[in-house]
Amino acid sequence: MEVTRIIFLLLLFTSCSKQDKSYVTITDGVYSVGEQDNSMNPFREVSLNSFTISKYELTNKEFETFVKATNYITDAEKYKDALVLDLSLPEYEWKEDPTANWRFPQGVSRGGIETKMNHPVTTISFNDAMVYCNWANVRLPLLAEWEVASSGDDNNKHFFKGKLEDIHQYANIWKGKTHQEISNLEKHIFTAPVGSYSPNQKGLYDVYGNVFELCLDVPEYIKEYKHLAASRGGSWWCSFNSCNYFNSHDVGRVNKQASFSNVGFRVVK
């Protein structure tokens, strides 16, 4: 009996050790998504199969592993057209920097990622994310999957209760009134290490803020525009006064070849 018990415990330990604790499983079911009067994401019910989504946004370290294994060259490296934030520019204007890419997300003059390997990878395009996913045998989340995983126990716009200002507990977003000024409350001017803020009820980190997260499909509203991809959750650039996409309902748009320093992704198995 004792030998049988030991074998059982060993099998149980082996099974548990194989579970990837950096992923969360969302059960299958019918879920409510979207909201009234939102043309990009109208209120509706969707039926989803069970899926497993990463707790964290993909990091520089993970993307570096992929690049070392494949010698992949990103769109920003090929076309020298990445877009970065320049504090001297007016609101909503971004600067094209030929030196910016995933290794230098804000351009060479602002340094590289050597000390930021646990930050989300940015300055990559939708095309780059798709190549990574094919290599890693994962995929980007569907819009509805991302929304269900990001939301709380209901279909509210934010997964947390209370005042909107409480979002600072959960999300890395811009605290200044404009992007020409940096608030003394700012912990991270650009990206923060993944998992720096509190998770949502499902155990996912940074679903709001830090970086916009690319999705696999697009809303019906823009399906005719084949060059566009969808992104969700807002980023470090978003604030109460500028882009307020740090929620579970709004859907952003980005050119599939564009490389912004506030766009990244998380994956689904």
Q: Answer whether residue 63 shows pLDDT above 50.
A: yes
Query: Which homologous superfamily does the CATH classification assign to the domain defined by 20-264?
Result: paralog of FGE (formylglycine-generating enzyme) (3.90.1580.10)
Query: Going by C-beta distance under 8 Å and a sequence separation of 6 or more, which residues neighbour residue 7?
Result: none
Model confidence band, residue 12 (pLDDT cutoffs 50, 70, 90): very low
Q: How many CA atoms lie within 13 A of 211 on its CB side?
A: 30
3-state helix, strand, coil in the chain (%, to 5): 25, 15, 60
| Percentage of the residues of the chain whose pLDDT score is greater than 70 | 93
Domain residue ranges in the chain: 20-264
Express each pLDDT in 152-202 by its tens digit.
888 899 999 889 999 999 999 999 888 888 888 888 999 999 999 999 999
The answer to whether 62 touches 20, Cβ cutoff 8 Å, is no
Reported pTM: 0.91
Per-residue pLDDT, averaged over 78-88, amounts to 94
The answer to whether 88 touches 191, Cβ cutoff 8 Å, is no
pLDDT for the residue 242? 87
Express each pLDDT in 148-165 by its tens digit.
999 988 889 999 988 999
**Would you state the structure tokens that stand for residue 190, as one six-digit string?**
């650009």
Q: What residues are paired with 264 via a beta bridge?
A: 213
Average pLDDT of every residue of the chain: 92
Residue type at 110 in one-letter notation: R
Q: How far is CA 164 from CA 37, 103, 227, 247, in A?
A: 21, 34, 34, 10
**Would you state the structure tokens that stand for residue 258, as one six-digit string?**
């564009």
Express each pLDDT in 34-53 by its tens digit.
999 999 999 999 999 999 99
> Quick one: CA torsion of 245, 249, 253, 254, rounded to 10 degrees?
70
pLDDT for the residue 180? 83
The answer to whether 159 touches 207, Cβ cutoff 8 Å, is yes
Q: Reading across the β-sheet that carries 263-264, which strands appear in turn?
A: 252-255, 228-232, 212-214, 263-264
The answer to whether 60 touches 113, Cβ cutoff 8 Å, is yes
Query: Going by C-beta distance under 8 Å and a sequence separation of 6 or more, which residues neighbour residue 80?
Result: 98, 99
Cα(249)–Cα(2) distance, integer angstroms: 55
**Would you state the structure tokens that stand for residue 37, as one six-digit string?**
């009067």
